[in-house]
Amino acid sequence: MAETGPILAWTLVSECAIPSDIDQILVNGEKAIAAYKTFRDSAIFTNKRLIVRDAQGLTGKKVEIYSLPYTNIYMWSSENGHGIFNFNSEIELWTKAGHIKINLNKGLDIRRLDKLISEAILGS
């Protein structure tokens, strides 16, 4: 599969409360499972997709929403960081839209996200 463009990358900084306004865009049977603060906004993992909200502009009032259904993921990898010089972990997703990298700051549970993705893709 040819890449469609540059690698899209997000960094998850810390776990946070699930934003209350996310219910507005969830479909029937979809539920938010976990949310993470990104540098400008948040990423929400549901049982059906990954939603990334990206605040834009100087004021951050303009918000772009990325929605990645797990059914569009062909392959994924996870790498946990260990050692003195390696603190971050990462998940890479190969999708119909291209290659996506999700970096996790120190202290975030990469295996939780790996299992969430596994259950969403392989569990049904």
User: Residue 62 falls within a domain, yes or no?
Assistant: yes
Return the residue matching tokens 């699930």: 18
In a domain, 20, yes or no: yes
Q: What is the identity of the amino acid at 1? A: M
Per-residue pLDDT of the chain (124 residues; tens, 9 = 90+): 444 455 688 899 999 999 888 999 999 999 999 999 998 889 999 999 999 988 777 766 788 889 999 999 999 999 886 655 556 789 999 998 889 999 998 888 889 999 999 998 898 6
Its domain, for residue 88, covers 8-122
pLDDT recorded at residue 68: 93
Indicate the helix (H) or strand (E) that contains 111: helix 110-122
Find the CATH number of the domain harbouring 17: 2.30.29.50
pLDDT (0 to 100) of residue 1: 42
Instruction: For residue 86, tell me if it sits in a domain.
Output: yes
Within a domain: 2 = no
Residue 1: inside a domain, yes or no?
no
* Residue 4 pLDDT: 47
Planar angle of CA 71, 24, 117, nearest 5 degrees: 25
* Number of separate domains in the chain: 1
> No. of H helices and E strands in the chain?
1, 9
